[in-house]
Amino acid sequence: MSAPTLPTLFIPHGAGPCFFMDWDPADTWHRMADWLRAVPRHVGPRPQAVVVVSAHWEAPAFTVNGQADPPLLYDYGGFPPHTYELTYPVAGAPAVAARVRALLEAAGLETAEESRRGLDHGVFIPFRLIHPDADVPIVQLSLRRGLDPAEHLAAGRALAPLRREGVLIV
């Protein structure tokens, strides 16, 4: 029996670190937070890894964060000091990052690897709710500068096999 095909998701992340702040009214972000916490129930089988294409990272080529232990990038401003101390000690997945690059390159798309950039808030903020134990490795993938729709659709088609390999694409 073959492994089930995982879905591809588009997820929101609210305003910066919104889920970890006080608001008036207090329930301002509760519905979205509840929705994010429910994502694992809707995905089905627990993914072996997650590839997150972040809207907060554009690079000249499709660039993969290949780190085993990626830091966090607090790429927001003007929020309370405690929001710059949030942690999410998730592992990276270098083998999945290499597979992402191989699939994209096989489709004729230029790639690069990043080894210093942290996971941005479009990744770590929602995943603190989706997988709060940080127990599913994450690989972050950039958008390609210029945002050509045809190139990004081609990248999506190229990465589709990951869904049958236990990788959730967000």
**Per-residue pLDDT band at 143 (split at 50, 70, 90):** very high
Dihedral sign computed on CA atoms, order 130, 134, 139, 145? positive
Measured CA distances, 80 to 3, 24, 84 (Å): 44, 15, 8
Residues listed for the chain? 170
pLDDT in tens, 73-115: 999 999 999 999 999 999 999 999 999 999 999 999 999 999 9
Q: Return the pLDDT at 85.
A: 95
CB 168 within 8 A of CB 44: no
What average pLDDT does the segment 40-45 reach? 93
| Reported pTM | 0.93
Mean pLDDT of 34-54: 95
Phi/psi region, residue 45 (left: phi>0; alpha: psi -120 to 50; beta: rest), is: beta
The pLDDT assigned to 13 comes to 87
* Average pLDDT value over all residues in the chain: 95
Mean pLDDT of 21-42: 93
Q: Given a cut of 90, is residue 1 above it in pLDDT?
A: no
Domains of the chain: 47-169 (3.40.830.10)
